[in-house]
Amino acid sequence: MPVEPAIQRLIDATPGFMPRVEGAYLHELALISPGNSEHPLVEIGTYCGKSTLYLACAAKALSSTVITIDHHKGSEENYPPFPYFDQRLRHRVSQDLETFNTFRDTLRLSNLTERVMAVVGDSSNYAKLFPQGSAALVFIDGGHSSVQSWSDFIDWSPKLIQGGVLAIHDVFDDPAQGGRPPFEIVTALRHSKTFVELNQVGSLAAFICSS
């Protein structure tokens, strides 16, 4: 069941880092997850809401909710001289990246506002407040430094319920294509007894939590 065309057009027009084929897979993963009104879909790394919309469409079908977490200041690679810097998203006064307002606009245009709860804050701090064993899906796409990537994995993978889906973005076998931490985490997951690999589409790898 693909995302409806009007939402897909909005997704395509939203700044972000989620190729269509990977977004479609994220949507599919959310649909097969055990998400419902008690078990939400959690996203780390909202940016402008591009990937959030794929999850929100699935949340609507599941009568579930997306909890999306971002401090909205951008990651290292969202600042010059990196190619993932978008001048349009720079705050006029602070000169920091500021993605919250664009995210709100994305959500408003989607009519999926009631499916999404946004947490504006640090993912590691919020993890301390979020119950273990409660999420139906955890999608990790926040800070890509080694410390932040591993922290998100260590903090957030125990939030899954049995049968929940763990999805990791920006997994590149070839170091020339992108940073190492997501690939290293996925390599560790492939040796884990708790997680069973589902598939990898593009740079989006997915596992099921078996216990």
Q: What is the contact surface with ligand SAH in residues (CB under 6 A)? A: 16-18, 45, 47, 50-51, 69-75, 99, 122-124, 141-143, 148
| C-alpha distance from residue 50 to each of 9, 87, 151 (Å) | 11, 18, 23
170 binds, among ligand SAH, Mg ion, none (CB under 5 to 8 A by kind): Mg ion
State the residue number with the nearest CB to ligand SAH. 16
CB of 6 to ligand SAH, least distance (A): 19
Q: What's the Cα-to-Cα distance from 100 to each of 1, 29, 37, rounded to whole Å?
A: 29, 25, 25
- The one segment of 2-10, 36-44, 84-92, 135-143 that binds Mg ion by CB under 5 A: 135-143
- How far the first Cα of the chain sits from its last, in Å, is 28
Residue 130 touches which of Mg ion, ligand SAH, none (Cβ within 5-8 Å per kind): none
Q: What residues are annotated to the active site?
A: 144
* Closest C-alpha among 198, 191, 200, 196 to residue 209: 196
Q: CA-to-CA distance for 84 and 208, rounded, in angstroms?
A: 30
H or E element at residue 100? helix 100-110
In the bound state with ligand SAH, the residue whose beta carbon lies nearer, of 69 and 166, is 69
**Shorter beta-carbon distance to Mg ion: residue 17 or 172:** 17
Nearer residue to ligand SAH within complex by CB, 11 or 62 = 11
Per CB under 5 A, 172 contacts Mg ion: no
**Rounded to the nearest whole angstrom, what is the least distance from the CB of residue 10 to ligand SAH in the complex?**
13
* C-alpha dist (Å) from residue 65 to 37, 61, 75, 115, 183: 7, 10, 25, 5, 28
Phi, psi of 72 (to 5 degrees): 65, 20
Farthest CA pair distance, the chain: 49
43 binding Mg ion? (CB under 5 A):
no
Q: Which amino acid is at 22?
A: E
Residue 27 partner contact from ligand SAH, Mg ion, none using kind-dependent CB cut-offs of 5 to 8 Å: none
Closer residue to Mg ion in complex, CB, 39/141? 141
Give the one residue of 43, 70, 141, 152 binding Mg ion; rule: CB under 5 A: 141
Q: Which residue in the set 69, 156, 170, 186 belongs to the binding site for Mg ion (CB under 5 A)?
A: 170
Dist. CA 190–CA 172, nearest whole Å? 15
Nearest distance, CB of residue 140 and ligand SAH, angstroms: 10
Q: Which residues bind Mg ion (CB under 5 A)?
A: 17, 141, 169-170
